[in-house]
Amino acid sequence: MFELLQTDSTSKARRGRLTTAHGVVDTPVFMPVGTQGSVKALDPRELEEMGTQIILANTYHLSIRPGIEIIRGAGGLHRFINWPHPILTDSGGFQVFSLAKIRKIKSHGVEFRSHLDGALLFLGPKEAMEIQRAFGSDIAMVFDECPPHTSTPREFRSAVERTIRWAKECREQPRAPGQLVFGIVQGGAQAALRAECARAIVAMNFDGYAIGGVSVGEPEREIFKAVELTEPFLPADLPRYAMGLGTPAQLVELVARGIDMFDCVLPTRVARNGTAFTNKGTVSVKAGFNKADFRPIEEGCACFACRQFSRAYLRHLLNVNEILGLRMVSVHNSHLYLKLMADIRAHLAAGTFGEFRREFVANYVPSRRVLSARDAER
Ligand SMILES: [Zn+2]
């Protein structure tokens, strides 16, 4: 199922190949986020053209709308959204704890009111796995509790205990044919809790492991710390996934810390504010200094937007609220994330990842505004 092809001599970075029911995924990999069954503003043909191997879809949102029966009726999620390649579904745990209004945590899940119409709903390990089974995703995630980074030690502990108990319940549920299931490690930035949670989850023999609770508004050093505290406990021969991260430079640093899989709303999220990623940081396409700049967003970028259009034209489109403007910035940003991962894989194969990492991170200037946008929506 997972083949570890190569390890880096200068860091913990790895190159691998993950085989799923709908195809092979080369790692390290970035998974564009299709929360509602669509990667915002992009169509499947565009995603294929930029080299997307796998996308993420969201159990919480899709089970509320259009609902499990519609997706089952369509013949599963791949057919419903017309994406024949691999799909990973998250379990809905993150949204239940972040979006839902008025929740009551019970022993077998969470009773909550829909963030849309207030309807009383229940989601737990059994329900989350049943929905993901009906969707027929290639990789299903266990139902976990993801506490905010400001939680007390006692809250972190009870979240870990619940996460372990629920993972065990998820493990016992039936799966869709060929469906892989990944366990999730919680525990904040506390060494003992991360170790305890990782040991218990790994003992359940999942197909891969995710590090959860790492994109919840905490500063970057805490993200890296949580990953560094968890990674040593994860089996080397299985895929590792850091949930909900990050900026391009963070992805490079997380690959160097032994992570294989990523998802993040940033590329499409900031595109809708007219912000573009480049290999040196972000740029506001809308800004006045682009008014008469007839160069592409990034020189040398092979994406459709950069091959066809100038900054001046894209700025104009954004200023007059033409849909094409935000679509093209979404194309560029998503392309940049996917190209970055392809470059990382090529450098790992060539044995030059160490140099690439040093140069990329040194040239990349992080933006505080972008970091806060990451936390605004997921
Ligand atoms: Zn581009």
Instruction: Compute the average pLDDT of residues 194-204.
Output: 98
Judge whether residue 168 has pLDDT over 70: yes
pLDDT on residue 275: 96
Residues with CB under 5 A from ligand 1 (ion): 301, 303, 306, 332
Q: CB-based contacts of 328: which residues, under 8 Å, 6+ apart?
A: 304, 305, 308, 309, 314, 317
Residue of 150 and 374 predicted with greater confidence: 150
* CA 330 to centroid of ligand 1, rounded, Å: 9
The pLDDT of residue 115: 83
> The whole model's pTM is what?
0.96
Say what the pLDDT of residue 154 is.
95
The pairing of strands 29-31 and 33-34 is: unpaired
Say yes or no to pLDDT of 322 above 80: yes
Tally of CB atoms within 10 A around 148: 15
Q: How far is the CA of 318 from the centre of ligand 1 (A)?
A: 16
- In which residue are the tokens 């990674």 written? 231
pLDDT the model gives residue 97:
83
378 has a pLDDT exceeding 70: no
pLDDT band at residue 4 under the 50/70/90 scheme: very high
Examine the pLDDT at 98 and tell me if it is beyond 90. no
The residue that leads in pLDDT, 184 or 148, is 184
Token code pair at residue 33: 């986020």
What is the average per-residue pLDDT within 4-24?
98
pLDDT at 30 exceeding the cut of 70:
yes
- CA of residue 301 to ligand 1 center, whole Å: 5
Q: What is the 176 CA–ligand 1 centroid distance (Å)?
A: 38
Q: Residue 315 has what pLDDT?
A: 98
Cα–Cα distance between 290 and 177 in angstroms, integer? 51
CA–CA gap between residue 38 and residue 269 (Å, rounded): 13
Q: For residue 138, what pLDDT is reported? A: 98
Mean pLDDT calculated for residue range 95-100: 82
Per-residue pLDDT reduced to its tens digit, 116-161: 888 899 999 999 999 999 999 999 999 999 988 889 999 999 999 9
- 349-361 pLDDT, tens digit per residue, is 999 999 999 999 9
Ligand 1: centre distance to CA 374 (Å): 21
Catalytic residue among 138, 144, 207, 263: 263
Percent of the chain with pLDDT over 90: 88
Instruction: Quote the pLDDT of residue 377.
Output: 44
Residue 219: count of CB within 10 angstroms of its CB = 11
Average pLDDT value over all residues in the chain: 95
Backbone angles phi, psi at 284, to 5 degrees: -85, 110
Annotated catalytic residue 343: no
Q: What is the pLDDT of residue 369?
A: 65
- Residue 231: CA count within 13 A, CB half-sphere: 20
In tens, the pLDDT along 242-268 reads 999 999 999 999 999 999 999 999 999
Average pLDDT in the 20-46 region?
97
If one compares 217 and 246, the residue with the highest pLDDT of the two is 246
Confidence band for 8, pLDDT divided at 50, 70 and 90: very high
Give the least confident one: 91-100, 105-114, 124-133.
Answer: 91-100
**Position 301 pLDDT exceeds 70:** yes
Round to whole Å and give the CA distance between 95 and 212. Answer: 13
pLDDT at 372 over 80: no
The Å distance, Cα 302 to ligand 1 centre, comes to 6
CA of 126 to the centre of ligand 1 (A): 43
Q: Cα separation of 168 and 181, whole Å?
A: 12
- State the DSSP code for 274: T
Q: Is 89's pLDDT higher than 70?
A: yes
Residue 67 confidence (pLDDT) above 50: yes
150 vs 39: which has the higher pLDDT? 39
Kindly give the residue spans of alpha helices, DSSP state H, lying in 50-190: 59-62, 68-73, 77-81, 93-98, 125-135, 153-171
26 classed as catalytic = no
Task: Give the pLDDT confidence score for residue 25 in this predicted structure.
Answer: 98
Tell me, in angstroms, the distance from the centre of ligand 1 to residue 153's CA: 44
Q: Which of 8, 90, 138, 144 is catalytic?
A: 90
Q: Are 141 and 88 in contact (CB under 8 A)?
A: yes
Name the least confident of 94-103, 151-160, 210-219. Answer: 94-103
